[in-house]
Structure 1
Amino acid sequence: MPAVRRAVVDGLFYPAAPEALRGQVAGYLAGVGADDDAARLPAKLLITPHAGYEYCGAVAAHAYALLERQREPAIRRVVLLGPAHHVWVRGLAVPEADAFETPLGEVTLDVAALASLGDLPQMVRSERAHEREHSLEVQLPFLQTLLGSFTLVPLVVSDAGAEAVAQVLERLWGGAETLIVISSDLSHYLPYAQAQAVDHATAQRILALDAGLAPHEACGSAAINGALLAARGHGLAPRLLDLRNSGDTAGDRNRVVGYGAFAFEGLT
């Protein structure tokens, strides 16, 4: 029997009941205003947050709504990178599982793609790095809702430099069938106005493809920095879709967490 990485934050970060989860995701997507996306190039890479849906779901939806409008070309594989919150590893962690589970079903892993990374020194196998990690799991219901059937390349990014991450992304880049998603929140636990200023500055650096972000600016800075190097090399055009924090969505304004949604568009 194939090994399945079971959902661990269902009922905490998002609803555990499938119908409730579908309804919540659909509601967030419906709340994204109309945009003139028809004339734009397809999104190759997204940056989207990973907190509980009540806090960041409406922001994440701005990134995923692009996929709802972007029916062609069909995306058949998602390369998903997120930061390590529980288990430190040196490099990027590959899971032992063959599939990841959410209340909406199982997503099969692209085991051939994961195996193709085996010769890279920054890659490690660590089931522990994945078993409690929410940064990847919370992205899956949006992807399952919008893409239906796809394979997944999930990587937890811990102690890794931008060049090491970019090398991995380059190997997995593929063509129009492959979407890259970077899971990251922005600033953590600053007062509301200070967080707004810090996150605005971080967003401007992302839009400038500045691959020197620090962890206090974005918890997924290692993955973002590598993605920015890769985006620069492929000539992708970055676009800010939404920038808010938990004080705007579902929390008080004394200590907030920042959330941003970005798309990187292009033909490569």
Structure 2
Amino acid sequence: MVRYPIAAGMFYPADPNELIEMIEHCYLQPLGPGLLPSKKGIFEKPVGLVCPHAGYPYSGPVAAYSYEALSKRVDNNITVVILGPNHTGLGSGVSTMNDIWRTPLGDVEPDIEFIDRLWKECDVMDLDETAHIREHSIEVQLPFLQHLELLNIAKFKIVPISMMMQDYETAADVGYFIAKIARELNKKVVIIASSDFSHYEPQEVASKKDAIVMKDILNMNEEELFTDVASNNISMCGCGPVIAMIKAMKLLGAKNSRLLSYSTSGDVTGDYSSVVGYGSIVIE
């Protein structure tokens, strides 16, 4: 089975050459890291990332920071667990799937062994492609991973997890089983939480709210993150995925965190009256 792209031609170019050109522009333009990934790194320990998932012209430069950091930390065969919010309302509350994911740059293989263990052991998770079939939050991460493959930096298989249920207990449970299975299967694992931050707030409001969120993530305090998002009415779409990522990374021994980049859609459009916030964070 193949999961065909639904974001191509909207969130990113459908033409492969144009897509590679846009990804490289995300790295090299002023809001990006200013350089392309150039050589294979060395995988020494699990890596966690927060990475945005808007259209590439808006959030791509911030996302490029995550993937530039990832390129320095991976080699050979990597399992990438990608947690994304369910924007569509379709399918199960928490779900994974074991199909191939297709983008204009080719096919991305699932890590069947990891996926099979995950949905069978984690009671809150189902094997359900319906939740994934129209959802963009996982798909938009894949061309950046494929670009790293084209640069011979690493080979990736994915474990896609779509989260409509984002209460604290559910997210923490998902994180626990990701860490448990990664350890037991001895996988070289990267965990990406796909999330944007504040949505459609004035710049000054969004930046203040997003500072609260980023502080909690950098402190690796997933409980405080859940509380602050609720109590401050922060319209972060992927709070559950980020909680699950932090929980898993702490169980896998993570001690350090770093903010790589933050900007808003206003920094691209020049319109600061209603912006979406984007952040790139690495935890290891």
User: Would you say same fold, with TM above 0.5?
Assistant: yes
After superposition, give the CA deviation of every residue in 1:202-252 in whole Å (9 maximum; x if it has no partner). Answer: 111111112133373521101111222223332331110001111112362
- From 179, 185, 206, give the equivalent of 1:170: 179
Q: Does 1:199 align with 2:210?
A: yes
User: Aligned in 2, Cα 1:260/1:177: closer, same or farther, shift over 3 Å?
Assistant: same
Q: Distance in 2 between matches of 1:154 and 1:182?
A: 11
Q: Percent identity?
A: 34
- Which residue number in structure 1 is paired with residue 48 of structure 2? 45
1:88 Cα deviation (Å)?
Answer: 5.0
Q: Indicate conservation of the 8 Å contact 2:91/2:130, yes or no.
A: no
2:236 matches 1:218:
yes
- Provide Cα deviations, 1:247-266, integer angstroms capped at 9, x if missing partner: 1123621111110000012x
Is the partner of 2:81 in helix, strand or coil?
strand
| Shift in Å, 1:176 | 6.6
> Is the 8 Å Cα contact of residues 75 and 179 (structure 1) preserved in structure 2?
no
Inter-partner Cα distance in structure 1 for 2:149 and 2:50: 17
Q: Which moved more, 1:134-143 or 1:167-176?
A: 167-176
3-state SS of 1:139 partner: helix
Pairing 1:246–2:249 present? no
> Which letter does structure 2 place at the counterpart of 1:122?
V
Instruction: State the AA in 2 paired with 1:111.
Output: I
Moved more, 200-209 or 161-170: 161-170
Tell me the residue number matched to 1:59: 62
The residue identity in structure 1 corresponding to 2:276 is: V
The whole-number CA distance in structure 2 between the counterparts of 1:249 and 1:159 is 32
**Uncovered stretches (5+) of structure 2, i.e. residues with no partner:** 36-40
CA-to-aligned-CA distance 1:90-135 (integer Å, 9 cap, x gap): 542112x520010000101111211112132111122210000000
Tell me the amino acid that sits aligned with residue 57 of structure 1: G
- Structure 1: distance between partners of 2:130 and 2:241: 19
| Number of residue equivalences | 258
**Is contact 2:26-2:64 (8 Å) kept?**
yes
Partners of 1:123 and 1:39 lie apart in 2 by 32
Once residues 177 and 39 of structure 1 are traced to their aligned partners in structure 2, the CA distance between those partners, rounded to angstroms, is 11
CA separation of 1:42/1:124 partners in 2, compared to 1, >3 Å: closer, same or farther?
A: closer
Give the one of 13, 30, 38 matched to 1:15.
13
Q: Which residue of 2 aligns with 1:159?
A: 165
